[in-house]
């Protein structure tokens, strides 16, 4: 059976002292969790978050990285750098990065490869806009994004990729996809992976839902057959809210 992975995405929030307080408060609340617990924090919080989470079941991730190992890329951080301080996860291709920072399916694919080359677990985001959904194109969009993100990976790497299905219209809006809609979209992503890499691999891939997941709707979403966890923005900033999501299935 696939494990569940509940990951927080703090986005551009939380100063180091806030990160330390949040993780200190969260630690006892999630220590019995059956799911994997991850917090993807800003670069400036990484070191503090890693120290505070040491010896706990909370894993730390970054929210982006460059695909080159080093070089003249002012302002960028590489997978090798993240790995060197103990980061384990990295979000790749979040819709905000695609929208505001010119992230493309091609750069997403390069970053996924660089993450694996440095033994980081990538959390790859895919999702349609409201316009695409209204035009009935949501499945085409997310299966294409998935296919391009995974292009050229080995079977083992595909099996170890975490995908986050995040409909863009549901991010930070308070609008959540219904659990049936989210499950259906995730099934389509799994089917697409199955067509290319085979059913066995497809059954191993962890596919999360993201977009206004909160304590009040998490259980219903996480109980669905194909939803293997959540990528949580707003509700990951408060220890109690995030803990309620992590612990909702226990
Ligand atoms: P949200 O963000 O939970 O605040 O909607 C989710 C995300 O962007 O990963």
Q: What ranges do the domains of the chain cover?
A: 5-246
> Which alpha helices (H) appear in the chain, and where do they start and end?
16-30, 43-53, 79-85, 95-100, 105-117, 130-134, 138-150, 155-159, 179-197, 199-204, 218-222, 239-246
| 8 Cα: distance to centroid of ligand 1 (angstroms) | 9
Q: How far is 125 from 63, CA to CA, in rounded Å?
A: 11
**Residue 33 pLDDT exceeds 90:** yes
Question: What pLDDT is attached to residue 177?
Answer: 85
Q: What percent of the chain has pLDDT over 70?
A: 100
CATH class of 5-246: alpha beta
Which contiguous run of DSSP H or E holds residue 229?
strand 229-232
Q: What percent of the chain has pLDDT over 90?
A: 96
Tell me the β-bridge partners of 18. Answer: none
Tell me the β-bridge partners of 86. Answer: none
Protein residues whose CB sits closer than 6 Å to any atom of ligand 1: 9, 166, 171-172, 210-213, 231-235
| 215 Cα: distance to centroid of ligand 1 (angstroms) | 13
Please choose from 64, 124, 211 the residue to mutate so as to test ligand 1's pocket, defined by most ligand atoms within 8 A of CB. 211
Query: So which residues are the catalytic ones?
Result: 94, 166
| Cβ atoms of residues 50 and 85 within 8 Å | yes
Tell me the β-bridge partners of 164. Answer: 125, 208
Q: Name the residue with the closest Cα to ligand 1, atom 7.
A: 233
Question: What pLDDT is attached to residue 219?
Answer: 97
Question: What pLDDT is attached to residue 14?
Answer: 98
pLDDT band, residue 141 (cuts 50/70/90): very high
Per-residue pLDDT averaged across 175-182, rounded? Answer: 91
Please choose from 100, 127, 171 the residue to mutate so as to test ligand 1's pocket, defined by most ligand atoms within 8 A of CB. 171
pLDDT band, residue 1 (cuts 50/70/90): confident
pLDDT band, residue 146 (cuts 50/70/90): very high
| 174 Cα: distance to centroid of ligand 1 (angstroms) | 9
**Each residue's pLDDT tens digit, 52-80:** 999 999 999 999 999 999 999 999 999 99
**Residue 174 pLDDT exceeds 90:** no
Question: What pLDDT is attached to residue 60?
Answer: 98
Q: How far is 212 from 231, CA to CA, in rounded Å?
A: 9
Question: What pLDDT is attached to residue 172?
Answer: 87
Q: Name the residue with the closest Cα to ligand 1, atom 1.
A: 233
38 token code pair: 């991850």
Question: What pLDDT is attached to residue 176?
Answer: 82
Q: How far is 82 from 221, CA to CA, in rounded Å?
A: 31
Which of 211, 210, 212, 222 minimizes the C-alpha distance to 246? 222
Question: What pLDDT is attached to residue 77?
Answer: 98
| 168 Cα: distance to centroid of ligand 1 (angstroms) | 9
């Amino acid at each position: 059976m696939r494990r569940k992975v509940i990951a927080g995405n703090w986005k551009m929030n939380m100063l180091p002292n806030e990160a330390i307080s949040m993780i200190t408060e969260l630690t006892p609340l999630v220590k019995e969790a059956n799911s994997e617990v991850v917090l993807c924090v800003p670069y400036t919080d990484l070191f503090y978050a890693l120290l505070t989470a040491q010896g706990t079941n909370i894993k730390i991730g970054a929210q982006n990285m460059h695909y080159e190992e080093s070089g003249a890329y002012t302002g960028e951080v590489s997978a090798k750098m993240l790995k060197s301080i103990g980061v384990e996860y990295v979000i790749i291709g979040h819709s905000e990065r695609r929208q505001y920072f010119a992230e493309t399916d091609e750069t997403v694919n390069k970053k996924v490869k660089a993450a694996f080359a440095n033994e980081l677990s990538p959390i790859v985001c895919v999702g349609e806009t409201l316009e695409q959904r209204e035009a009935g194109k949501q499945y085409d969009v997310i299966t294409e994004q998935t296919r391009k993100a995974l292009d050229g990976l080995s079977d083992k790497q595909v099996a170890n990729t975490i995908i986050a299905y995040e409909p863009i219209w549901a991010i930070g809006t308070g609008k959540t996809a219904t659990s049936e809609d989210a499950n259906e979209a995730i099934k389509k992503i799994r089917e697409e992976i199955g067509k290319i890499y085979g059913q066995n691999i497809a059954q191993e891939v962890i596919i999360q839902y993201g977009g206004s997941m909160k304590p009040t709707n998490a259980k219903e979403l996480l109980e669905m057959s194909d939803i293997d966890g959540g990528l949580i923005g707003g509700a990951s900033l408060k220890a109690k809210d995030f803990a309620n999501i992590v612990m909702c299935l226990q």
